[in-house]
Amino acid sequence: MRSTRLPAREHEAVARWDVARPPWPSRTVGVGLAGFRDRNAGPVEMRVIPHPAVTLVLEFGDGPLVVDTAMRRQQMSSLVTGLLHGALHVRGENIECVEVRLSPVVAYAVLGTSPAELEHTAVNLDDLWGRGAPRIREQLSEARSWQERFALTDALLACRAETGPSVDPQVAWSWHRIVGSRGRVRIDELADEVGWSRKRLWSRFRAQVGLPPKRAAKLVRFDHAVRRLAMGEGAARIAADGGYVDQSHLHRDVLEFTGVTPAAVAREPGLAVDDIAWADTA
């Protein structure tokens, strides 16, 4: 786990949440799990910062969750988000949930639909899984431990991944190259590596992952930058190391993805909690 000295606000956020992690890796490559319980058992409002994963939130507390986007406000029992263009605001009470982060190349199979169909926002999981969504929420509510909840969730995801549609191998390769390079690979290089034209790579990648390759690289680069900001590193150093032209370039990307400045996003309490829940995936 990365260590950092947290300001008081971030200490309060970490203290508010019980965070659980499974003691074993998922049966499905590209799947991560974490559990969250609000110790205060009261109203809570969270800003969800974009990250390079499709996210399922399986809420089994009092619910519902209220999700605010730039377009609308919705009530959801559980939710799924695609690769976001901007931050979401989520409110709820007595929250207990299992959060699942899916690589977009496995999300296609698990969800039964391409991440491109999620329109870069949040949708109710019931709309995708039908009766399967309330069934897993009921099982999670009845489970006696986080370990049991993780086992139930992981078994369901593995079953869906084995039977769902798969992405093109060239698309999967390109995604992993983007992630491995921290968003600094050139799209022309990707097209050459997989033997496709740039136009074909753009089309197939966009249809199956939910973003064009260049935008996906931008999101991956932003994700690494914003987590370094949350650790207290300076914006100038991050910009220089992270493939940005200069500090103002970093500022523009952070503002585009979050609606706030690098200094403001560095103080986001949710990033401090993320550092615990997803320490091995950053």
In angstroms, the Cα distances linking 69 to 51, 88, 151, 254 are: 16, 5, 32, 17
3-state helix, strand, coil in the chain (%, to 5): 50, 20, 35
Averages of pLDDT over runs of 10 residues in the chain (282 residues) are 40 76 94 92 84 93 81 84 85 91 94 83 88 93 96 96 92 96 94 96 94 95 94 93 94 94 89 80 54
Amino acid at 181: S
Q: Enumerate the β-bridge partners of residue 55.
A: 81, 101
Closest CA to 226 of 187, 267, 191, 190: 267
In angstroms, the Cα distances linking 56 to 65, 99, 129, 237 are: 13, 6, 12, 33
| pLDDT on residue 154 | 97
Instruction: Tell me the domain boundaries of the chain.
Output: 8-166, 169-265
Q: Enumerate the β-bridge partners of residue 54.
A: 102
Amino acid at 264: A
- Looking at 1.10.10.10, 1.10.10.60, 1.10.1740.10, 3.30.70.2190, the CATH number of the domain 169-265 comes to 1.10.10.60
The CATH superfamily assigned to 8-166 is Jelly Rolls (2.60.120.10)
Is pTM beyond 0.85? Reply is yes
Task: Find the farthest-apart pair of alpha carbons in the chain and give their distance in angstroms, rounded.
Answer: 54
In angstroms, the Cα distances linking 120 to 131, 214, 251 are: 24, 16, 22
| pLDDT on residue 121 | 76
Rounded distance, CA 262 to CA 255, Å? 7
Q: Across the chain, where does the E strand assignment appear?
A: 17-20, 31-38, 43-48, 54-59, 65-68, 73-76, 79-81, 88-93, 96-102, 122-124
Go through 22-61 and write b for each residue having 16 or more CB atoms within 10 A of its CB, e for each that does not.
beeebebebbbbbbbbbeeeeebebbbbbbbbbbbbbbbb
| pLDDT on residue 278 | 84
Amino acid at 27: R
| pLDDT on residue 26 | 95
| pLDDT on residue 12 | 60
CB within 8 Å of 78: residues ≥ 6 apart: 56, 57, 58, 59, 65, 97, 124, 125, 126, 133, 137
Closest CA to 76 of 87, 88, 53, 92: 92
Please say whether the beta carbons of 35 and 97 come within 8 A: yes
| pLDDT on residue 10 | 52
